[in-house]
Structure 1
Amino acid sequence: MTPIDRPRRSALYLPASNAKALAKARTLPCDVVILDLEDAVAPEAKEEARAAAVAAIAQGGFGHREVAIRVNGLDTEWGAADLAAVAGSKADAVLVPKVNGPQDIDRLQDALSGAPEAMQLWAMIETCASVFALEPIAAKARSTRLSLWIMGLNDLAKEMRAQSVPERTPFLPFLSMAVAAARAHGVTVLDGVCNEFRDLGVFEAEARQGLLFGFDGKSLIHPAQIEPCNTVFSPSEADLGWAASVIAAFALPENKGKGAIKVDGKMTELLHLEQARRLVAVAEQIAASV
């Protein structure tokens, strides 16, 4: 699987300063592990966490899981050293916070010039400036390592002075625009975290809202969120049944060359055939990653 078509239903943040969390990450059913050097790590533990993250990746044992390191921003006292350490590591990706515009992607691309060719650049969309530069930021995927976005609504809410409510009303326009910009340039896009980890019903509702918007998956703050997240962002039996019917119908000799046919009494076009094939491919990728 290429980096952009592998399953990324669930991306779990873990503090790189927590040795038990790093060990547990190797056993969890998430698709992506994000070793965090930023929000989850106190200032006095930043350097220790950086060394622990690089060592954990060198040790390996993460199996099918993609492993990224979230660094501190370049404008912090730890950012440059974080980037240099990740560039010399075996991480699949470096996740960078508070990207404001395409110029930041260029700066990060230069900073990663010595990194392995396969290392990806992932960016947090979490500032007021970034939501007004979504398309030009996404366009950088065509000429840089940029391949994935993660929404950061907690930081965005802070900047906006907006209230965080279960419906996420203040952020709905930004969520849909982020997905549209990402799709326009082939960028994978993950929904932000749900701060409620005790009530999984609340989490599942937010995850389904993200699926409705078209997100590829969701970032997580607690292992308990992994299973419901994987379920929400996996094709259901009903989805796959519909896909099989559409594919089979278009394969019939009498439908050869047709752009629109009836399937189960509904008008179905070639765009639906493309969607059906994608659902089947996603299910196959998920099965292959287990």
Structure 2
Amino acid sequence: MRLVRFGEPGAEKPGLIDADHVLRDLSGEIDDIAGDHLSRAGLDRIRALDPKSLPKADPSRRLGPCVGRVGNFIAVGLNYADHAAETGAELPSEPVLFNKATSSIVGPHDDVIIPLGSTKLDWEVEIAIVIGETAHNVSEAEALDHVAGFCLCNDVSERAWQKERGGQWMKGKSAPTFGPLGPWLVTTDAIEDVQAIDLWLDVSGRRMQTGSTSTMIFPVRTLVSYISQFIALQPGDVITTGTPAGVGAGMKPPRWLQPGDIIALGGTHLGEQRLTVKAHTA
């Protein structure tokens, strides 16, 4: 299934994309793509519905982030060897974890706002994991049983704040609009092999990133199991899993996002995002 949330920010309704690519309104059945609705039982209830029995929704409506009420927004750094190399970092022996603020989450076609004081704004195409069942100390073998599905994420990053201001990476990863998710949440049964997803990203028509989840250092199963050693992951938690090479910081000279840039990104089965970069106006 492809699950979506549509409508104005803060008032999104749950929906799904049917086999004919029609947007259907789920709000008569569930209150949101969130919480227990992401569990195996919750998804089975949605799966049992006849999509054609659901009202059609206006396809021009804004798509919001594809999961609601996110409790934890966890990110994995340096999870592709080519990206580690372009940034001059050593390959990690264990997953590198940091947090993104949930207040950074926006929809797949919303604007990316350059925050006040930003000088080195960058992009990162990633596949994100959405947790469906509580996961604490789970094995790799059972890890995917706790996953509701996957979505596209742009891990927007302010490199000066991330690398030059001391402390942890969170401060360069968490400004408003730094976490576009969607367009849709693809349930695990709709993806044959999550380690065979092609990813790409363009900036203003120029291809910057081309990669595949097949080259992850730590695959999805490993990440869920590993993170669950330290955190009791809850339904709706999001784990964004790292980016392949091609970020602005790795170019010579570096290429930073500017007002008017258009960021387009996509992944196999995951749909596409299109985001306009704008200056902060407040």
TM-score, normalized by the shorter chain, greater than 0.5:
no
Query: What TM-score do the two structures reach when normalised by structure 1?
Result: 0.24
Query: What TM-score do the two structures reach when normalised by structure 2?
Result: 0.25
Which protein has the bigger helix share? 1
